[in-house]
Amino acid sequence: MFDMGTDNLPTQTTSSRLHPPETDIGAISLYVHIPFCETKCPYCDFNTYTAIESLIPSYISALKTELSLWGSRLGRPRVTTVFFGGGTPSYLPAAEVESLLKHIRTCCNLDIVQEITLECNPGDVTLDKLSSYLDSGVNRLSIGVQSFSDSLLRLLGRRHTSSDAIRSYKLAIESGFENVSIDLMYGLPNQTIQDWNTTLEIARGMEPAHVSMYCLTLEDGTPMKKQVQIGTLPPPDADLAADMYMMCDETFSHPDYRHYEISNWAKPGNESVHNLTYWRNESFLGIGPGSHSYINGQRFWNIKPPREYITRLKTSHKEPTQSPVPNIPVVDEVEAIDRKMEIAETMMMGLRLDTGICIDQFSARFSDTPAKHFGSIISELESTGLVEQSSDFIKLTAKGRLLGNEVFSRFFL
């Protein structure tokens, strides 16, 4: 069965209160959630909303309040990357992005920042916005292209055409952005091999610095899953999706590109530094409703409703809240991640990368080798051709990349 993604990280049932950092937390990555969308795509189950544009001013104010609270709590932390995700960050007025980045610089130390990414919808891209982003310090764009087939874009509920996507990419390059990523999707209902080949060829011809290619997952509660359930759309074809995934590698198997993560290809030096934080199981802070964080061995996440998020941050100094973090009123729950879980998650996330698990780095972090914890599992996966290992590393094979979840689940048995 074709399966190259990951499910949500396993969670523990024990909830706790977030304790203050006892030592320097080191450098972190910062995620800022923008929940606004002009239209909601039928496959999307992210914490995003339409028709709430009236909340934008109060929402930006709430984000700044949360940033200030965390900046104080963490002692103006050093930040290596900033990522504006959503939702549709490019749907915001450019002045709001500039204002947020200015405030982030007051709450966090950005002296060592390597990457500031903003997700864009092709239909939002203008030269004025791009110029404002560059002036604000944004140095990486992630454009949600998804497909170069107009019929599939309509199926996906996207509000741009293939020509819009090409135009927005060219505008970004012409405006001065050197690091532009495009997102593509495969395994779609009614998508043919020919459709996907055309999309790949167009993408390859554009020569973007970075490409993310994701297989459609039908999430519970989404309109698209309901359409499949009632028969108005065909169900995904796992074998066809596997063929499409292999075509990704064939199209981008070029010295100019490195297949550095299961779903991501980049020209050398243009790998997503922010996402590498997740895949290396390092510290990150999420700001905004529904955002997740991982700091000091604790995973925690915020409440989801934007209106409640705004209200809590307005009244945080006047009324008590049920937050497990006294001065961060929007944190919903906290999980303590014990050493066993941290080791398993580090194995799962690290194996997504082409570098795999470096034995020396793993040993330096945990004072143990992977073999001590998972020796029999690794041997079994190697015997079935899903991983390869040496004295220096453990990596997924090409077959293992196709069966990612089958590999990852073994470390949580």
pTM greater than 0.85: yes
* Span 218-227, average pLDDT: 95
Rounded alpha-carbon distances, angstroms, from residue 78 to 68, 105, 278, 370: 14, 10, 17, 30
pLDDT at 225: 95
CATH number of 28-279: 3.20.20.70
Over the stretch 121-175, which tens digit does the pLDDT of each residue have? 999 999 999 999 999 999 999 999 999 999 999 999 999 999 999 999 999 999 9
Return the half-sphere exposure (C-beta side, CA atoms, 13 A cut-off) of residue 17.
10
pLDDT at 382: 96
Q: What is the DSSP letter of 124?
A: G
Dist CA 165 CA 228 (whole Å): 27
Using 50, 70 and 90 to split pLDDT, how confident is the model at 11?
very low
Contact call for residues 352 and 405 (beta carbons, < 8 A) = no
Rounded alpha-carbon distances, angstroms, from residue 227 to 44, 45, 184, 189, 232: 14, 15, 22, 10, 5
Dist CA 160 CA 145 (whole Å): 8
Using 50, 70 and 90 to split pLDDT, how confident is the model at 18?
low
User: What are the φ/ψ torsions at residue 213 (nearest 5 degrees)?
Assistant: -130, 115
Closest CA to 162 of 140, 184, 190: 184
User: What are the φ/ψ torsions at residue 334 (nearest 5 degrees)?
Assistant: -130, 135
Closest CA to 123 of 208, 57, 53, 38: 38
Q: Where are the domains of the chain?
A: 28-279, 355-412
Percent of the chain scoring above 90 in pLDDT: 88
Dist CA 184 CA 147 (whole Å): 6
| Tokens encoding 124 | 């939002």
Contact call for residues 284 and 278 (beta carbons, < 8 A) = yes
pLDDT at 6: 37
How many CB atoms lie under 10 A from the CB of residue 75? Answer: 12
Core vs surface per residue 192-209: b (16+ CB within 10 A) or e: eeebbeebbebbeebebb
* Span 368-390, average pLDDT: 95
CA angle 15–21–26, rounded 5-degree value: 120
Q: Counting Cβ atoms within 10 Å, is residue 322 exposed (0-12), middle (13-18) or buried (19+)?
A: exposed
Contact call for residues 146 and 31 (beta carbons, < 8 A) = no
Over the stretch 305-340, which tens digit does the pLDDT of each residue have? 999 999 999 986 566 667 888 789 999 999 999 999
Contact call for residues 175 and 219 (beta carbons, < 8 A) = no
Over the stretch 230-288, which tens digit does the pLDDT of each residue have? 999 999 999 999 999 999 989 998 789 999 999 999 999 999 999 999 999 999 999 99
* Span 362-380, average pLDDT: 95
pLDDT at 326: 77
Q: What is the DSSP letter of 157?
A: T
pLDDT at 13: 41
pLDDT at 315: 82
Say which CATH topology domain 355-412 has: Arc Repressor Mutant, subunit A (1.10.10)
Using 50, 70 and 90 to split pLDDT, how confident is the model at 14?
very low
pLDDT at 10: 45
By three-state DSSP, how is residue 285 classified?
Answer: strand
